[in-house]
């Protein structure tokens, strides 16, 4: 398995902008275009392309927010697998790689994310990887989950 997490650059930006989810998933996650705009406004965010065997299959956005919690928080803020690559186990592969990547980059002992609880597929995936609800809601009323490492 050759997984790569590559930052968004001028070379891959258009290809990354073409990623999208199925119609019934669009209410759960912002478009890649919205994510990239947000990452320009908030420099804490790092948008990345997710590649398997040099093929772009997904997108993620994460970052460290130093003013949250006692020691700051590392957020896996967005994760999507393009609709044509869904159902092949890539969500699990990419999440596993992202967790390792974030721990290495930030030397953190917790990871945070948020989701709408009715997003059953994402909820199942995150629970499988040890994320648990912590009782908080984010600014969009999504439930916050944490993984203790």
- What is the C-alpha separation between 85 and 89, in angstroms, rounded? 9
How many other C-beta atoms lie within 10 A of the C-beta of residue 120? 9
Structure confidence by residue, pLDDT tens digits, 95-123: 999 999 999 999 999 999 999 999 999 99
Chain centroid, CA 26 distance in Å: 15
Q: What are phi and psi of 137, to 5 degrees?
A: -120, 145
How confident is the model over 68-91, as a mean pLDDT? 95
Nearest-5° Cα angle at 17, 113 to 114 = 10
What three-state secondary structure class fits 101? helix
* Helix or strand (DSSP H, E) at 83: none
How many other C-beta atoms lie within 10 A of the C-beta of residue 50? 28
For residue 129, the model assigns a pLDDT of: 98
Structure confidence by residue, pLDDT tens digits, 26-54: 989 999 999 999 999 999 999 999 999 99
Residues catalogued as catalytic: 126
Report the candidate in 106, 108, 126 with the shortest Cα–Cα distance to residue 116. Answer: 126
For residue 1, pLDDT over 70 is answered with no
For residue 88, the model assigns a pLDDT of: 95
Q: Is residue 66 a contact partner of residue 16, using CB atoms and an 8 Å limit? A: no
In order of their start, the domains of the chain are 3-148 (3.40.630.30)
For residue 59, the model assigns a pLDDT of: 98
């Amino acid at each position: 398995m050759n997984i790569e997490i590559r930052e968004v650059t001028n070379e891959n930006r258009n290809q990354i902008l073409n990623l999208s989810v199925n119609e019934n998933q669009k209410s759960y996650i912002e478009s890649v275009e919205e994510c990239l705009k947000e990452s320009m406004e908030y420099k804490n965010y790092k948008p990345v392309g997710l590649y398997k065997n040099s093929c772009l299959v997904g997108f993620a956005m994460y970052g460290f927010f130093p003013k949250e919690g006692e020691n700051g928080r590392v957020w896996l803020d967005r994760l999507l697998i393009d609709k044509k690559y869904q159902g092949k186990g890539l969500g699990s592969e990419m999440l596993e790689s992202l967790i390792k990547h974030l721990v290495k980059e930030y030397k953190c002992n917790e990871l945070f994310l948020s989701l709408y609880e009715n997003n059953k597929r994402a909820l199942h995936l995150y629970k499988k990887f040890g994320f648990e609800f912590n009782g908080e809601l984010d600014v969009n009323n999504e439930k916050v989950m944490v993984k203790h490492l």
